[in-house]
Amino acid sequence: MTLAAPLLEKLDKWRPTGEGRQSATFGLPDAGWDVTLTADRIDSVGSLLTRIMAARTTPLAEDAKLQEAHARAPAGRATGLLEPLCLVEIDRVGHVALLRSERPQVRGESVLYYEVRFQGRNQISVERIRASKTAPAVREPVPFALTNEALAKLVSDLITD
């Protein structure tokens, strides 16, 4: 069983009550991670997500030497997004690594890209960002759609060490 399989089972059962933005945390104890999803819309095949967060249930000690490898490997593995990811920046002192879309989409005066932030080896967040190409530069998160299968695979690709 891959890491994606238990998450996919939980996503297939996720039926929030009420309208509007919803959040849920799914524990993956065999993998040692909790995954929190924030979505504007959820249905039986997928979600309109605003954020994906994953956090280790038992944090690892920070290690600047391992930070780059920990962020670089998922950049090559992660599929299912509109654009492939590439490593953009590593802050070895702050233990932060940043992945972004390799080739962002251009729409009028804006660019759209995925941003994946690794806080050490213990926390990962995924957002879709719209940034203006003109001054003043404005960045804002925007919803992005993923099927349950694509979401489960993405999370597995990002958290697999």
pLDDT of residue 9: 92
Q: Residue 127 pLDDT more than 90?
A: yes
Token pair of 22, please?
A: 């919803």
Dihedral sign computed on CA atoms, order 60, 65, 66, 68: positive
Vertex 80 angle, CA 77 and 83, to 5°: 85
Q: Stretch 70-99: mean pLDDT, rounded?
A: 89
Question: pLDDT digits over 113-125, tens only?
Answer: 999 999 999 999 9
What residue segments make up the domains of the chain, in order of their start?
4-14+21-141+149-159
pLDDT confidence of residue 114: 97
Say how many Å lie between the first and final Cα of the chain, rounded. Answer: 16
pLDDT at 1 over 70: no
* Minimum mean pLDDT range among 18-22, 38-42, 46-50: 18-22
Q: Which residue has better confidence, 67 or 95?
A: 95
pLDDT at 151: 95
Secondary structure, 3-state, the chain: CCCHHHHHHHHHHCCCCCCCCEEEEEEECCCCEEEEEEEEEECCCEEEEEEEEEEECCCCCCCHHHHHHHHHHHHHHCCCCCCCEEEEEEECCCCEEEEEECCCEEECCEEEEEEEEEECCCEEEEEEEEEECCCCCCEEEECEEEEHHHHHHHHHHHHCC
Residue range 82-103: mean pLDDT, rounded: 93
Arithmetic mean of pLDDT, 140-145 = 96
Which residue, 3, 125, 120, is CA-closest to 59?
Answer: 120
- How many other CB atoms sit within 10 Å of the CB of residue 94? 12
Mean pLDDT of 88-94: 91
* Alpha-carbon separation of residue 111 from 57, 135, 137 (angstroms): 35, 13, 11
Q: Which position has the token pair 């999803």?
A: 37
Encoded amino acid at 27, one letter: G
pLDDT at 97 over 70: yes
